[in-house]
């Protein structure tokens, strides 16, 4: 856990030599650790599935906007007008607190929460691995399925995010705060982050940032009340940050929560079926 945290913290430091090893560090350390533990075959398999699902998601998401399917915008705008009682929440939040020329603490906190998407989900996987084998297995299978489901929807339903909708005149002007603050701080780091994330400007529905944050909350809720409250606080903070930064509509967040919840519900059933299928083969061996 400490090694993973140190490695990923180093990845976030602009201009260092560790950045190119981001994904090997992100998934390699848990895999190596699982491989060295006795009776860790299932954990190793699940970490491998997680690594493949996330890596495949990042690689394939890059081309999800090249299918020729028209980019959509109206349905999320109308949904958010209902949620915001006539206003678009992203627009309203930026009108309240965003100042283009004056970076503030809220901007920094929102950016940090956004970037935590790369650290927190695998770190929580390691925490759950130590706390509860059952919850750990459910969590990793659910998050792997969520990446797959999200990828499919990114191909089928390319959706314009609020900042782009503002540029195109679909809604009031909406800043891309993440670009303004991170690119303004370090253009090199922003370019690296965009490459690392598998850049696709219209992969907004569902929000995988929100989906994984919700799974973090669901996983931690199974380990105790205090951990569950912390998980819910993290998910709420992530949701606020995504909307405030102009990266997602509230509708995108709800889509992410729905996908994650379905995968969380299905994970133990899928795992039970897989184990039943393997049992006869193991018996014959």
Band of pLDDT at residue 243, cut at 50, 70 and 90 = very high
Q: Which residue has the higher pLDDT, 2 or 251?
A: 251
pLDDT at 3 over 60: no
Q: Which residue has the higher pLDDT, 189 or 163?
A: 163
Average pLDDT over residues 200-215: 96
Q: Please, what is the Cα angle at 152 between 147 and 154, to 5 degrees? A: 90
Band of pLDDT at residue 110, cut at 50, 70 and 90 = very high
pTM: 0.85
DSSP 8-state class, residue 12: T
Band of pLDDT at residue 170, cut at 50, 70 and 90 = very high
**Closest by Cα among 244, 230, 17 to 120:** 230
Total number of domains constituting the chain: 1
Distance separating alpha carbons of residues 271 and 62, to the nearest angstrom: 30
**What pLDDT shows up at residue 285?**
38
3-class DSSP state of 72? strand
Please say whether the beta carbons of 248 and 262 come within 8 A. Answer: no
**What pLDDT shows up at residue 284?**
42
Distance separating alpha carbons of residues 81 and 75, to the nearest angstrom: 10
**What pLDDT shows up at residue 39?**
56
**What pLDDT shows up at residue 10?**
54
Q: Which residue range forms the structural domain that includes residue 274?
A: 2-284
pLDDT at 268 over 70: yes
Report pLDDT digits (tens) over 248-267: 999 999 999 999 999 999 99
Band of pLDDT at residue 35, cut at 50, 70 and 90 = low
Band of pLDDT at residue 11, cut at 50, 70 and 90 = low
Distance separating alpha carbons of residues 281 and 283, to the nearest angstrom: 5
Mean pLDDT taken over the chain: 84
C-beta neighbour count of 88 within 10 angstroms: 25
Distance separating alpha carbons of residues 242 and 245, to the nearest angstrom: 5
**Host H or E run for residue 125:** helix 120-131
Band of pLDDT at residue 118, cut at 50, 70 and 90 = confident
Give the CA distances from residue 197 to residues 23, 56, 73, 247, in Å, rounded to whole numbers and listed in that order: 11, 11, 22, 14
Please say whether the beta carbons of 90 and 174 come within 8 A. Answer: yes
Band of pLDDT at residue 43, cut at 50, 70 and 90 = confident
pLDDT at 66 over 90: no
């Amino acid at each position: 856990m400490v090694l993973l945290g140190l490695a990923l913290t180093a990845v976030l430091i602009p201009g260092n030599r560790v950045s190119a090893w981001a994904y090997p560090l992100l998934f390699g350390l848990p895999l190596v650790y699982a491989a060295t533990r006795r009776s860790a075959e299932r954990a190793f398999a699940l970490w491998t599935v997680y690594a493949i699902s996330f890596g495949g998601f990042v690689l394939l998401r890059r081309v999800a906007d090249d299918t020729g399917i028209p980019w959509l915008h109206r349905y999320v705008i109308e949904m958010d007008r209902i949620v915001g009682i006539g206003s678009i929440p992203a627009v309203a939040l930026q009108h309240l607190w965003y100042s283009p020329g004056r970076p503030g603490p809220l901007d920094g906190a929102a950016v940090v929460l956004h970037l935590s998407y790369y650290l927190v989900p695998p770190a929580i996987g390691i925490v759950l691995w130590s706390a509860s084998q059952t919850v750990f297995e459910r969590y990793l299978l659910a998050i792997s399925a969520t990446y797959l489901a999200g990828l499919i929807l990114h191909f089928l339903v390319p959706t314009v995010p609020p900042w782009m909708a503002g540029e195109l005149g679909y809604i009031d002007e909406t800043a891309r705060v993440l670009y303004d603050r991170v690119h303004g701080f370090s253009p090199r780091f922003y370019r690296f982050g965009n490459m690392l994330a598998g850049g696709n400007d219209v992969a907004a529905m569902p929000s995988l940032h929100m989906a994984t944050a919700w799974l973090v909350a669901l996983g931690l809720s199974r380990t105790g009340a205090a951990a569950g409250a912390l998980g819910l606080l993290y998910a709420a903070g992530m949701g606020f940050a995504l909307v405030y930064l102009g990266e997602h509509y509230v509708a995108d967040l709800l889509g992410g929560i729905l996908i994650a919840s379905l995968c969380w519900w299905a994970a133990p059933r899928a795992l039970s079926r897989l184990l039943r299928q393997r049992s006869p083969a193991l018996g014959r061996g």
